[in-house]
A and B are shown apart, each in its own frame.
Chain A
């Protein structure tokens, strides 16, 4: 079977798998960003209790494997009465895992906003919330964006693991195709190229664009 015939026969399955992978990546990214912001801010909170929760969360999710977390969420959580559908379990696990890494990024970025900016906001009598939202965070976002570019590629790669709980993403589809045809080089090779294209020609340019947009917004272009 030539490669073109292979694509003709299995192209639609590979395409549907790719769409699922993209959807998972988008949902998990949104979750990861939200968690990272929350946990990152909590780590900087003066409240010991909030700081403790965030630290424990971050250490647990950074200290164990994504695969372990995924299996735990999918197989063990139902025993506690929380049953997640496999697609949901998939993006929740990936989002929570990368969110923990993102939290450290958020924390680092906020801490690296120059001290004068904090003092200026204080001098203008801004409330702590307003100071964070209007002065510190916009500058912190610019600092952390390059780090997020790497994290989102890690996240895309992480979504491939959800195939192991039978979510029909790209990885799952090519695994099935390999199982029935034994055309391993074609099946897995195609998937490798698609992941590469998504990472290199979609995520990376998007993050570059976002960085430039943020720079313009802050008048630093």
Chain B
């Protein structure tokens, strides 16, 4: 029953390691989009316009409560229907970036709300412009409380990249599927994929906790 083949394992390992690079690239790019777009979504809810706030809130709820894999399909297939062809990578990065932007905007929102009101008043009394208030006073203070959530979603986006395999992004899962269908051996590729994920996500999660503690110390917030 248990017929793990080591020669086969060594044969496929290089391919899986190359694919791991793609997985990390996808997670990194998707996260970069999410970090920036999430901030935009969080700030968009703080404008004086009630209507904008409501629309953005509802859109975030919608993205958060529907499956990412469905969103990936949607972005990939709906474009061509209207004459806009997206590559799997582009569609995948848009979908995963948007999905996690919705999650990160909630993290930022919590961080922004944790900045005491006196900071705003102080910035106003110093006659700082709105953008200067945000960049020099509010955001630096909103960041440390957001770090834990941001770290969790970095690991989260990494673990969600296998969904990109459904539209043919050549990341780990896609490569494991390809190996499986070429050789009819599933034990080694799928197990290796699981091990690679564990080996990367557990230290990252631990590293993020250390980094968070370091930032808090650095900013004198212990």
A161 on the interface (CB 8 Å rule)?
yes
Please count the residue pairs between chain A and chain B whose beta carbons lie under 8 angstroms apart in the complex: 119
Please tell me if the beta carbons of A188 and B191 are within 8 angstroms of each other in the complex. Answer: no
Q: How far is the CA of A59 from the CA of B205 in the complex (A)?
A: 11
B160 on the interface (CB 8 Å rule)?
yes
Question: With A79-B187, A153-B65 in contact, is A185–B73 under 8 Å at CB?
Answer: no
B190 on the interface (CB 8 Å rule)?
yes
A40 to chain B, nearest CB (A): 19
B198 on the interface (CB 8 Å rule)?
yes
Residues on A with beta carbons closer than 8 Å to the beta carbon of B74: 184, 188-189, 192
Q: Which of B3, B77, B81, B198 has the most CB of A within 10 A?
A: B77
Among the listed A63, A80, A164, A175, which residue makes an inter-chain contact with B1, where contact means beta carbons less than 8 Å apart?
A80
A183 on the interface (CB 8 Å rule)?
yes
Residues on A with beta carbons closer than 8 Å to the beta carbon of B194: 60, 64, 68-69, 72
Secondary structure of the B contact surface, majority rule: helix
Interface footprint category on A: 35 or more
Q: Which residue of B lies closest to A197 (CB)?
A: B65
B166 on the interface (CB 8 Å rule)?
yes
Q: How far is the CA of A174 from the CA of B193 in the complex (A)?
A: 28
B164 to chain A, nearest CB (A): 10
Please tell me if the beta carbons of A182 and B159 are within 8 angstroms of each other in the complex. Answer: no
Please tell me if the beta carbons of A76 and B65 are within 8 angstroms of each other in the complex. Answer: no
A86 on the interface (CB 8 Å rule)?
no
Please tell me if the beta carbons of B70 and A160 are within 8 angstroms of each other in the complex. Answer: yes
Q: How far is the CA of A178 from the CA of B81 in the complex (A)?
A: 11
B133 on the interface (CB 8 Å rule)?
no
Count residues of B near A (Cβ-Cβ below 8 Å): 42
Please tell me if the beta carbons of B2 and A157 are within 8 angstroms of each other in the complex. Answer: no
Please tell me if the beta carbons of B69 and A160 are within 8 angstroms of each other in the complex. Answer: yes
Please tell me if the beta carbons of B186 and A63 are within 8 angstroms of each other in the complex. Answer: no
A208 on the interface (CB 8 Å rule)?
no
A171 on the interface (CB 8 Å rule)?
yes
Which residues of B, 143-185, contact A by the 8 Å Cβ criterion? 159-163, 165-166, 173, 176-177, 180
Question: With A75-B180, A184-B77, A188-B78 in contact, is A68–B67 under 8 Å at CB?
Answer: no
Please tell me if the beta carbons of B173 and A157 are within 8 angstroms of each other in the complex. Answer: no
Q: How far is the CA of A188 from the CA of B78 in the complex (A)?
A: 8
B62 on the interface (CB 8 Å rule)?
yes
A195 on the interface (CB 8 Å rule)?
yes
Contact with B along A171-210 (1 / 0, CB 8 A): 1001100100011110011011001100110000000000
Please tell me if the beta carbons of A160 and B67 are within 8 angstroms of each other in the complex. Answer: yes
Please tell me if the beta carbons of B173 and A76 are within 8 angstroms of each other in the complex. Answer: no
Residues on B with beta carbons closer than 8 Å to the beta carbon of A75: 180, 186, 190
Please tell me if the beta carbons of A63 and B73 are within 8 angstroms of each other in the complex. Answer: no
Contact with B along A39-68 (1 / 0, CB 8 A): 000000000000000000001100111111
Q: List 17 A-B contacts (CB under 8 A).
A: A63-B202, A65-B173, A67-B162, A71-B176, A79-B2, A79-B187, A80-B1, A153-B65, A157-B67, A178-B73, A178-B77, A183-B81, A184-B81, A185-B81, A191-B70, A192-B66, A199-B65
Task: Show the binding face of B for A, using Cβ within 8 Å.
Answer: 1-3, 61-62, 64-71, 73-74, 77-78, 80-82, 159-163, 165-166, 173, 176-177, 180, 186-187, 190-191, 193-194, 197-198, 201-202, 205
